[in-house]
Chain A
Amino acid sequence: MSRARWLAPVVAFVALAFLVAVLPSFISAFRAQQLAYVAIYLIALIGLNVLTGYTGQISLGHGAFMAIGGYTTAILIADHGVKDIWTIPIAGILTGVVGFLFGIPALRLSGLYLALATFAIAVSMPAVIKRFEGFTGGGSGINLFGLPDLTASLTPVTVLGRELTFNDWLYYLCWTIALVGYVVAWLLLRGRTGRAFRAVRDSETAAQSSGVSLPKYKTLAFGVSAAYAGVAGSLFAIATTFVNPDTFPIALSILLLVGVVVGGLGSLVGLIAGAVFIQFLPIWSQEVSKSPGAPAIVSGVVLIALMFVLPMGFAGLLARVRTLTKR
C-alpha cells in the first residue's frame, strides 16, 4: 500500500473541511441554512449507503428512521428540557438500536421484499405518530422554536469567540457532525467490517462460505445505517424547529434513495454531490417555471436524463475522470 493511496483522500478531505469552515463568511444566512440541510442529507445518505450501497440491502424506509431520531430530539427538548446538542447522540443511539432490532426480522427478507417491508414501515410512520397523540403531539406536532434549550434560536450564541446567528450555528453544527460521520464511515468501511459488508452484497452464499456471518454483519449494517439516519433526523428537527407527522413523509425516504443512486452506490465521496442534488433539485426546478406541475416535470426529466448520462452516479463520473488523468 503506497503512501499516495491514503494521502490523496486525506488532502482532499482537509481541503473540504477548510472550505466548509470559511464558506459562511461569503454567503448569506439563507444559503447557510440551505447548506446545513445539505449536511443533514449527507449524514442520512452515508447511513443509507452503508446499508444499500455497501451491504446490498435496499431500504425504502430511511425516512422512518429519521422520524425516530427527530421525534426523540423534539420530545427530549420540549418535554424534558434536555439541551439540544445532547439529544443528538441519544437520538443516534436509540435509532441505531431500533435499526439493529429491525435488522433481525429483516434477515429473513431479501431484495425486493426487504425494500417493500421498509417501504411499509415508512408509509405507516405518519399514521402511527398521529395515533400516539399524548406522546408525539399528534397531527399538530411539537414546536421547538423559542425554547431555551434550542441553541441560538432567540439570541446569537458565542462559539470559540465568534458570535453565531441561528443559521450560522446550524451550518457549523450540521457540517461538523457530517464531516465526523464521514470519517467514521470511511474508517469503518475501509477495514475488515467494510470488506465483510461488500462480501455480503456481492454474494451472500459466497460470503457465508468464507466465514462471514450474515446475521452479524447484516444487523450491524442496519444498526449503523439507522444510527446515521437518527442523527440526521435529530438535526432535521433542530433545523426546522418543528416536527409533525408530515415532516418525515414517504417522499423523504424515496428522495434519500435517489440521493444515494445519484451520488453513487458504494461510494462516500459521490454522496456529497448526491446531497447537494436532492437539496437543490426542487429549488432549481422552481426557478425554471412556477406554473403548477412544471417543477415536478423538470425534476422528473432531470432525474431520468441523469440516469442516461451518469449510470453510476457522480462517483462513476469521478472514476472516469480519474482514469483519464492517469493515462
Chain B
Amino acid sequence: MADFMQQVVVGLSSGSIYASLALALVLIHRATGVINFAQGEMATLSTYIAWTLTTNHGWSYWPAFAFTLIASFVGGVAIHQGVIRPNEKGSVLRVVIVTIGLLLAINGLVTLIWSGEVRAVPSPFPTRTIEIGGVAISIQDIGTIGVVLATVVVLWLMFQYTKVGLAMRAAAVNPAEARLVGVRVTWMLSLGWGLAAVLGAISGMLAAPSVFLDPNLMAALLIYAFAAAVLGGIDSPIGAVVGGLVLGVGLNLLGTYVDFVGADLRLPGALLVILVVLLVKPSGIFGKTEVKRV
C-alpha cells in the first residue's frame, strides 16, 4: 500500500506539470479557438532563459524564475500581436499552420543559441525525501505540486474576481458583444497568449530538473498535455487541471502495475483510454456540449 501511495504522489507530481501545460493550451483555445502547437517550444525557450540566468549570470533561482515569467508573458503577447492576429481571418487551419511554423522556428532558435547539448538544471527544492505515514515523498515533488496548484488558484481568483478576468471571459464567450460594451477584445486575447506563455514557462522550469534540459524538452510533454486537455474538455480550465493530474497518476500506475503496458505502451495506453472517454463523452469530462445552429 505504501508503494502504491508513493506511485500516486510521483504521478501527481508529473501530472501537475502536464496540468499547467494543458491549462496553457486551454487558455489559448478559449481565446483564439486554436490548438497552439508551439506551446511546448515556447516553454522550452523560457526554460533556457531561466537556465542561462542562473548558470551563466549567477542569478539565484527565484529572481530568475520571476524574470522568466515576465519575459514569457511579454513574448506571448508579442507572438499574438505579431503573427497570430493578422492570420485570424479565414480557415482556423491557417493559424494552426502558423503555430507549426513557430514550433519549427523556436526549436531552431533554441538549438542555434544553446546547441543541442543536454544540460542539468538545478532544482529550487531539496531532493531529499520526507516520510508521511510510511510513504517517502521527495520535497521536489511536493514543491512541484504546490507551485502548480498555487498558480491555478491565482489564475482562478483573477478570472473570477478581477475586472480584467471578467473582460477576458467576456471576450472569449462572445467577442462581438464584449466589444460593444467596451472590452478591448484583441488585447484580451493577447493577454490570454501571455498568460499561456507564463503557464508554459512554469511547467518547463518545473519539469527540467528531473528530466534534464535539451531543445526537445517539451515535445513529449506537449503530447501528454494535449491528452490531458482533451480528457478534461478542451474548453474547461478545471478539466485541464483534473485531466493532467488523472493522466499523471494513471500513467504511472499503468506503467508500474500492468506488465503488458510497461514503458513502451504507456503513451498509447493513455491515448487509448482518452479515445474511449471521448467516444462516450465527445466533449471531454468537463467540456460543454456544443449546440449547433444552421
A positions within 8 Å CB-CB of B: 52, 58, 105, 108-110, 112-113, 115-117, 119-121, 123-124, 127-128, 130-131, 203-206, 209, 254, 257-258, 261-262, 265, 291-304, 307-308, 311-312
Told that A119-B226, A128-B268 touch, could you supply 9 new A-B pairs with CB distance under 8 A? A112-B234, A113-B234, A204-B292, A262-B97, A293-B110, A293-B112, A299-B104, A311-B89, A311-B94
CB distance from A321 to the nearest CB of B (A): 19
List, in ascending order, chain A residues with CB within 8 A of B35's CB. Answer: 112, 115-116
Q: Cβ of A311 and Cβ of B101 under 8 Å apart?
A: no
| Count: A-B pairs, CB below 8 Å | 139
- Of B147-155, B244-252, B276-284, the stretch lying at the interface with chain A is B276-284
- Give B158-186 as 1s and 0s: 1 = Cβ < 8 Å from A's Cβ atoms: 00000000000000000000000000000
Nearest 7 interchain pairs by C-beta: A300-B105, A296-B108, A293-B111, A300-B104, A293-B112, A303-B101, A124-B268
Contact partner, B86, options A205, A301, A308, Cβ 8 Å: A308
Interface of B (DSSP majority class): helix
Contact A127:B226 (CB < 8 A) given known A58-B93, A257-B93: no
Closest residue of chain B to A106, judged by CB? B279
Residues in B neighbouring A292, C-beta threshold 8 A: 111-112, 115-116
Are B264 and A120 in touch, CB under 8 angstroms? Answer: no
Q: Are B97 and A303 in contact (CB under 8 A)?
A: yes
Distance to closest chain B CB from A181 (angstroms)? 23
B293 touches A294 (CB 8 A): no
Question: A304 touching B101 by the CB < 8 A rule?
Answer: yes
Partner of A296, one of B105, B227, B282, B292: B105
Contact partners of A298 in chain B: CB under 8 A:
108
Write the chain B residue with the least CB distance to A316.
B90
| A130 CA / B227 CA spacing, docked (Å) | 21
**Bound complex: CA of A198 vs CA of B251, how far in Å?**
40
Least distance between B106 CB and chain A CB atoms (Å):
7
Main secondary structure of the interface of A (DSSP, over half): helix
CB atoms of B274 and A120 under 8 A apart: yes
Does B64 interact with chain A (Cβ within 8 Å)? no
A205 touches B111 (CB 8 A): no
Cβ–Cβ < 8 Å partners of B271 in chain A: 120-121, 123-124
A112-B35, A300-B104 known; A265 and B282 CB under 8 Å? no
Instruction: Give the contacts of B198-248 with A (CB-CB under 8 A).
Output: 215, 223, 226-227, 230, 234
Would you call B104 and A303 a contact (CB within 8 A)? yes
Of B89, B97, B112, B283, which is in contact with the most chain A CB atoms at under 10 Å from its CB?
Answer: B97
> Could you tell me the distance between the alpha carbons of A8 and B275 in the complex, rounded to whole angstroms?
46
Contact B29 A113 (CB under 8 A): no
Instruction: Enumerate chain B residues within 8 angstroms of A108, measured Cβ to Cβ.
Output: 278-279, 282
B123 at interface, CB cutoff 8 A = no
Establish whether residues B279 and A105, one from each chain, have CB atoms under 8 Å apart when the complex forms.
Answer: yes
- In the complex, B109 has a CB within 8 A of chain A: yes
Could you tell me if A300 and B102 are in contact, using CB atoms closer than 8 angstroms?
yes
- Docked CA distance A301–B101 (Å): 6
A265 touches B112 (CB 8 A): no
B259 to chain A, nearest CB (A): 13
Nearest Cβ distance between residue B114 and chain A, in whole angstroms? 9
Please give the distance in Å from B293's CB to the nearest CB on chain A: 7
Query: Counting CB contacts under 8 A, is B66 at the interface?
Result: no
Complex Cα distance A303/B271, Å? Answer: 29
B13 at the A interface (CB under 8 A): no
Instruction: Check if B100 is an interface residue, CB within 8 A of chain A.
Output: yes
* Bound form: Cα–Cα A261–B230 in Å: 24
Q: How far is the CB of B80 from chain A (nearest CB, A)?
A: 13
Expressed in whole angstroms, the minimum distance between the Cβ of B270 and any Cβ of chain A is: 9
Nearest-Cβ distance from residue B99 to partner chain A, whole angstroms: 9
Residue of B nearest to A299 (CB): B104
Quick check: is B265 within 8 A (CB to CB) of the other chain? Answer: yes
